[in-house]
A and B are shown apart, each in its own frame.
Chain A
């Protein structure tokens, strides 16, 4: 089992709709969770981080964390073509000071 799992996609969503990206993790002691966006040929850039169970909203983005289910998600409201990218989920490793990245979900927003 991978430590951080994401569906590779591609996930195709119509413009204006809600895109839902999901991530599961195996380390029950993890405390820090991150979502990065990576455009083709570019480096990852941080969108959001979340530490507590529940929802955290920032503009059109909402991160959701459920530690009991070891599940973190990212919702993108009013999806725009510029949201088309690969989204990386990252989770801290509880017994080693490092972050583990998922392989990413490729999101495509169709006009």
Chain B
């Protein structure tokens, strides 16, 4: 079974803090993704990565950065957290056998609240 883990289930931070969200997958997947999910807006892609040290902007990259130094780990960084970044953050991975369009497996999510 694919296992995707995220460092925290719940996180509370203050405006202006630097926030790190960590994601680890154990299936040697090539692709990793960061989404945020908000009521009525569905899943929105922030960043994705097809290989170590490679990253691509998704639909809403503003205010975020990412790091992929090892294949199994993909980090999302909020350089200066703002209240509008309060959301559920979901990490996903996929094998990469079909480019970026194969089945994605999700981690449990991190609910981030920025005060």
Binding site for B on A (CB under 8 A): 8, 31-32, 34, 42-46, 49, 88, 90, 92-93, 96-99, 101-104
Contact = CB atoms under 8 A, between A and B. Distances in A.
Interface of B: 33, 35, 40-43, 45, 48, 50, 58, 90, 98-109
A46 B42 contact: no
Contacts of B101: 31-32, 92-93, 97-99
B82 to A, nearest CB: 23
Contacts, number: 50
Is chain B's interface secondary structure helix, strand, loop, or mixed overall?
loop
A32 B102 contact: yes
B109 A43 contact: yes
A80 B108 CA distance: 24
A97 B99 contact: yes
